[in-house]
Amino acid sequence: MNMNDDDPWEIKKVLEESDVCCCRLLLNKDLTYNFVILVLMGGAEAAKQKEEVKVQVWDVDTKSRHSLVFKIWTSAPSHVFIKIWFYDFVLRRNLKKGDVIGFHWDQANQRFNFSVLNSSN
């Protein structure tokens, strides 16, 4: 999804069935490049060496802290958040296909902020 200039959520996604029934959140490579590859992984060359990085996530709706692993899938047009995505986000927040979620890089706290922007329930 694209964002407008006033929108703080750099990464927005309408959840697909695969995002809520599997243990990973698929993200388009273009969406993650500026906010994950460059910021967290030190650029494209460094990312090739790491392939994954642990990230802290602050759920602004529930005021709770979580950890995810951002992994680069070199064989697909996607990157993923894995590890506890399903338990700490899908199950805990009762996320469904069609929900819109957002991530914003919080530079001051060195973490992603997460929110459910629009629930399909």
Q: pLDDT digits over 29-42, tens only?
A: 777 766 666 666 56
The pLDDT-based confidence of 2 (bands split at 50, 70, 90) is very low
Report all structural domains of the chain as residue ranges with CATH numbers, in order of start: 13-118 (2.40.330.10)
The answer on pLDDT for 5 being more than 90 is no
Pairwise CA distance, residues 109 & 100, whole Å: 24
Please give the distance of CA 51 from its chain centroid, rounded to a whole number: 16
Could you report the per-residue pLDDT of 51-85, keeping only the tens digit for each?
A: 777 889 999 999 999 999 888 776 666 777 888 89
39/118: higher pLDDT: 118
The predicted structure's pLDDT at residue 41: 59
- pTM of the shown model: 0.82
The predicted structure's pLDDT at residue 86: 92
The structure tokens listed for 25 are: 């959140």
Average pLDDT for residues 40-51, to the nearest whole number? 62
The predicted structure's pLDDT at residue 47: 59
Q: Are strands 111-118 and 52-59 parallel, antiparallel or unpaired?
A: parallel
The answer on pLDDT for 23 being more than 60 is yes
The predicted structure's pLDDT at residue 82: 86
SS3 call for 103: strand
β-pair partners for 90: none
